[in-house]
Structures are given as structure tokens and as C-alpha cells.
Amino acid sequence: MDVKDTVKILGEVSIFESLSDKEIAELLAGASL
């Protein structure tokens, strides 16, 4: 799964719906994939 797909899925997680794609990408940078 590439980063774009991962950002899309995270944006659909109930608690992260209010985050922008940019903020989710930043969150992803600090996460373990």
C-alpha cells in the first residue's frame, strides 16, 4: 500500500476525519508503517 492510499484510509478513520491530508501525512511521517 503506497503513502497516498494510506493517507486516504487514515482520513476515513473516525478520529482523524477533521485532519487535512497534509496533517495526516505529517502524522504518518512519525508512525511505524
Does residue number 19 form part of the binding site for another protein (CB under 8 A)?
yes
Q: What is the DSSP letter of 17?
A: T
Q: Which listed residue (2, 4, 22, 32) binds another protein by CB under 8 A?
A: 32
Does residue number 30 form part of the binding site for another protein (CB under 8 A)?
yes
Residue 6's Cβ-count burial label (10 Å; 0-12, 13-18, 19+) is middle
| C-beta separation of 18 from 11 below 8 A | no
Does residue number 7 form part of the binding site for another protein (CB under 8 A)?
no
Residue ranges that bind another protein, judged by CB under 8 A: 1, 6, 9-10, 12-19, 23, 27-28, 30-33
